[in-house]
Structure 1
């Protein structure tokens, strides 16, 4: 398939307007031969109700309209031109478009029809060097989210005319800026006008070697307009950041950012407001988790994510809670660990972290292959409601009997891709003849675990799930029974087991249903 609307022979040069009045979404995916939506040059596409556009894995697509060889020779084709009009488009997702070099034309005389655009995602568009011509960026006044990764970008916004005395504001409603894996990216905009990003809440900048977070922050303040900005004193730069930086709710810091903070180059109050912190890209094999005194600056922190780093431990040696002192991170309700190849343990057994553990409500572990345990033996996760563990091959079991009895508020459990896991709840010698009641568990998902034998092998233990009403078990070929003990699921009517929907009440219980399925 090369296009959607084919060229009609014998039409000459007459322009035909094609209108889809009620079309609200266009999705083009996995079309390796697709070149243009409109295969004829004399078409105009008008979709007044279109709100979402997704184009992914269409490696040959460069434009919505077909262009002549002469036009292509004169200028690289752009995805949009005046023949394409989506006046109500709100979200655009572009992914894996190998030949896409331009989204908009360079001609400032063109008519822009994207007044309502709010969110743009561009991923793996290797030929794309600039996201916005300057004239386009000036007119996209409702952009709220920009998420760009693994593109060939050198600039986000192309160089425009020198800023006028009355500075033009770019993206005044921007709330989220995510830039990832773009080693050629040098600048947000070469001759940047004043940026009044007073609504910015989230800033994430990773694997962009020629930029750092604080250089992007500098773009957001008035000092960026000075002709002598390269000669600013440390005192001036410090004052500029302290005065003009927006109040970020979500902040990402990489290794080099932490070092700049430790060197005292930035004021403490910049970091007093974030509610969510991501620590990422500590790639040195000897990387050490940031020290306690830095973490204590985030007094309002509710979410901590540790991502793509070489840490073996995620908390510093001196501990986080001392007797009689106000604990750092005591309000932490969400902890996420992702792509930590070397991490061996989350909590040390001798840590005084009771208050931290007690407050956590969401705990996620993704792609941590050397992690062998995620719950300390002597700990209480009494407020934990959501537990997600994915692709962590070092885990043989998830929790022990003694630990699972503390998960009294757990409502959602998802375990996926843990290749060596044999059971979810292991016997630590205290489970025989006991009753385990997960009073609030509503959702249980177990997928892609070739070694999983059962939820638990404790034969004389009774498992009660009074609210469980959603169970999914897929691609666990060795799992022939749910549990070796008795299982009670009074609210469970149907379960998705190995791509089949089973009436659990008709079969008797979850154990019987699984035994019949594996017979």
Structure 2
């Protein structure tokens, strides 16, 4: 292994916008597998020529990633490569990102959602979701008409914080038929989301009677 490869193997923070040539090689699979295995914090900022989603080989290579920030990537249409996701032993798994704790997405003009139910079930360590200034986002978790019935209840066990700001097309957090639970959720911030109508979680124990809250939360919304 060259000194170049050894140096990147020890890397824990990477901001790809500062290395456009490196980004192109990563996306096209022209770098050694495992080169970024120790990266814990990845920032993509102003990567205008980014492909429509994270390729599955990139997800696999970033299996120790804990913080992902995506900013000003206007060509990004899908945050995760859905074709690269697999179902194994009736448990939803995502190729890589199993250790992801914080996801921040700002000013990505082509995104319409962040997750599918199968993907979010693979992110069981996720603690923070922050989405700001994404004009086309309609849902955070995409309603999947062809979703398998055996997925059952969707649980995000460690999610503590949700921030949603300046999302003019956001209508729901999740509008699918499956129950959604966030038992560790402590903080929700919603600002300038004019179409926001409902979150879908389960077993809401305390529910406000204000008109705003009745539109924001459905009968399936719940926190511990």
Tell me how far 1:296 sits from its aligned partner.
Answer: 5.0
Q: Residues 198-227 of structure 1, C-alpha deviation per residue, up to 9 Å, x if partnerless?
A: xxxxxxxxxxxxxxxxxxxxxxxxxxxxxx
1:454-493 aligned within 5 A: 454-458=172-176, 460-483=177-200, 486-488=201-203
Q: Taking structure 1 as reference, are residues 489 and 392 closer, same or farther at Cα in structure 2, changes over 3 Å only?
A: farther
Distance 1:316 1:478, change over 3 A: closer
Matches within 5 A, 1:92-491: 294-295=4-5, 297-307=7-17, 313=24, 315-320=26-31, 322=33, 327-349=34-56, 351=57, 354=60, 356-377=61-82, 378=85, 379-428=95-144, 429-430=146-147, 434-458=152-176, 460-483=177-200, 486-488=201-203
| SS of residue paired to 2:163 | strand
1:427, CA displacement in angstroms? 2.9
Mapped to 2, the partners of 1:352 and 1:419 lie a distance apart of 26
Distance in structure 2 (CA, Å) of the matches to 1:365 and 1:384: 14
The separation in 2 between residues aligned to 1:406 and 1:511, in whole angstroms, is 35
Flag the 1:431–1:401 CA change in 2: closer, same or farther, 3 A. farther
- How many equivalent residue pairs? 202
Q: Residues of 2 paired with 1:481 and 1:511: CA distance?
A: 12
Structure 1 pair 313–400 and aligned structure 2 pair: CA distance change class (3 A): farther
8 Å contact kept, 1:320–1:353? no
Give 5+ residue unaligned stretches, structure 2.
86-94, 218-224
1:388 is paired with a residue whose SS is strand
Residues 396-418 of structure 1: CA deviation (Å, up to 9, x unaligned): 11111111111100011100111
Task: Give the secondary structure class of the aligned counterpart of 2:63.
Answer: helix
By how many angstroms is 1:435 displaced? 0.8
Specify which structure has the higher proportion of strand.
Answer: 1
Secondary structure of the equivalent of 2:45? Answer: strand
Q: Is the 8 A contact 1:309 1:341 kept in 2?
A: no
TM-score, normalised via structure 2 length: 0.78
TM-score normalized with structure 1 length: 0.36
Task: Provide the rounded CA distance (Å) in 1 between the counterparts of 2:135 and 2:58.
Answer: 32
CA distance in 1, matches of 2:71, 2:19: 13
Structure 2 residue matching 1:487: 3-state secondary structure: coil
Instruction: Tell me how far apart the structure 2 counterparts of residues 352 and 344 of structure 1 sit (CA, whole Å).
Output: 12
Bigger Cα displacement from structure 2, 402-411 vs 302-311: 302-311
Q: Distance in 1 between matches of 2:20 and 2:11?
A: 23
Q: Secondary structure at the match of 1:457?
A: coil
Contact kept, 8 Å, 2:17 with 2:46, in 1: the verdict is: yes
Higher normalized contact order (CA 8 Å, seq sep 6+, divided by chain length)? 2
Whole-angstrom distance in 1 between the partners of 2:188 and 2:38: 32
Alignment partner of 1:481: what SS? coil
Unaligned runs of 5+ residues in structure 1 are 1-267, 270-293, 491-504
RMSD (Å), alpha carbons: 2.9
CA distance in 1, matches of 2:58, 2:102: 23
Give the Cα separation in 2 of the matches to 1:318 and 1:340: 17
| Contact 2:12/2:39 (8 A) holds in 1 | yes
